[in-house]
Amino acid sequence: MASEPFDAVSVIRTKRDGGRIPDPEIDWVIDAYTRGAVAEEQMSALAMAILLNGMQPAELSRWTDAMIASGKRLDLSAVSRPTTDKHSTGGVGDKITLPLAPLVASLGAAVPQLSGRGLGHTGGTLDKLESIPGWRASLSSAEFIDQLNTVGAVVCAAGDDLAPADRKLYALRDVTGTVEAIPLIASSIMSKKIAEGSSALVLDVKVGSGAFMKNLADARELAETMVALGTAAGTHTVALLTDMSTPLGRTAGNALEVRESVEVLAGGGPADVVQLTVALATEMLAGVGITDVDPAAALADGRAMDVWRRMISAQGGDPDAPLPTAAERHVIAAPATGVLTRLDAYAVGVAAWRLGAGRARKEDAVSPAAGVVMLAKPGDQVHAGQPLLELHADDAGRFARAEQALDGAFGIAAEGDSERASQGAPPLVLDRVTA
């Protein structure tokens, strides 16, 4: 075997001792790890050193570039419209991509959205769309470009040749306690998004119990790091910090969230889903210079719905087909009368997962019909015995463990407790981060 120009132990020592890894060594270690010339235990040690000691901005930018270079970049030069994309760091009830992509496309941009499947308590966009009969996640490069030109929006699975270094490193971080390293989170997300080739990118960085980042300071650090990486790569990048202490909308689950997304595209739907969809659409369009449009009007007048139907049909789906429904339902009633002050996003996400809507391992199957319907949200008046949550599952045996997840997940303040009763949900958009 040909000798390697550097050795992994030296790279590990540099970062272990708080130093900056030189550019040629960054390029080598990512390439060698992708090829299998750097062992898993060596990359594990390097990932832990990065978690403990961080990375300098220029060092992280080079690391991200090397991850992009491990595979192919998408060539969007044949797309006739300006391209703009969105990435969410994941939450509960986060179905925003579904109405957002067709909405932005209806207003003149192209949205090349490469999405993933859910893991744990956060749902995956592809899982949601796969609940539509006939819809397929995999497209060839030619189909991808053609759909961007004819429909204006694609939501599909990323190919294996997009940042393959990230796929290996992502799995490694999961089993080595290094998932929380902000440089590694940022480079993981941004290597894939930059490789997608869009001109503009809007990041939806979630904050709260149902999010990866539980507090505003960590979320802001991640957002600032990703915005800097995107800007350095020549992609117009903006981040919104958005609340994920309460689930988005009134559903968490695959077909349930598709149904709710269609309501939004029909001009209705929950106010928080509409608000965030419009806010992100405005940012995505502004990133490519489209500012003289009204996203809210395009939801109301049916333009976005027309694009949705074409987008689903183009990938083999039937937009008119009935969505799967659960065989079993179970209601959780309000234990007292008053104002609902809290509905914990993480607990709802875990309940939906236990009902069958999510997976513990990547190879697990998900139930398209399972999930949670929230019949009340924080700020709503409720009465003792009133249905608060409706659990959907294919197997009634799943209800007990889902109920356990929801124990203590909500708070009800008596009407006389004016201070607690007046505590509504926090603002949905908490901050905006730009370069």
Catalytic residues: 87, 166, 173, 188, 192
CA 355 from centroid of its chain's CA atoms: 21
Which tokens go with 304?
């976005």
* DSSP code per residue over 145-213: HHHHHHTSEEEEEPPTTSSHHHHHHHHHHHHHT-TT-HHHHHHHHHHHHHHHT-SEEEEEEEESTTSSB
Read off the DSSP letter of residue 16: H
Helix H, strand E, coil C: the string for 269-336 is: CCHHHHHHHHHHHHHHHHCCCCCCCCHHHHHHCCHHHHHHHHHHHHCCCCCCCCCCCCCEEEEEECCC
Are 370 and 394 a contacting pair, CB within 8 Å? yes
Q: How far apart are CA 262 and CA 269, in angstroms?
A: 8
Which tokens go with 430?
């908490």
> Kindly report the CA angle at 342 between 374 and 280, in degrees rounded to 5?
70
How many CB atoms within 10 Å of residue 39? 12
Which tokens go with 97?
């991509």
Q: How far apart are CA 19 and CA 10, in angstroms?
A: 11
Contacts of 71 (CB under 8 A, 6+ apart): 161, 162, 163, 164, 165, 195
End-to-end CA gap in the chain: 45
Q: At what angle do helices 40-53 and 164-176 cross, to 10 degrees?
A: 80
Are 138 and 157 a contacting pair, CB within 8 Å? yes
- 11 SS3 class: helix
Q: How far apart are CA 58 and CA 228, in angstroms?
A: 10
Are 248 and 91 a contacting pair, CB within 8 Å? yes
Q: How far apart are CA 402 and CA 385, in angstroms?
A: 19
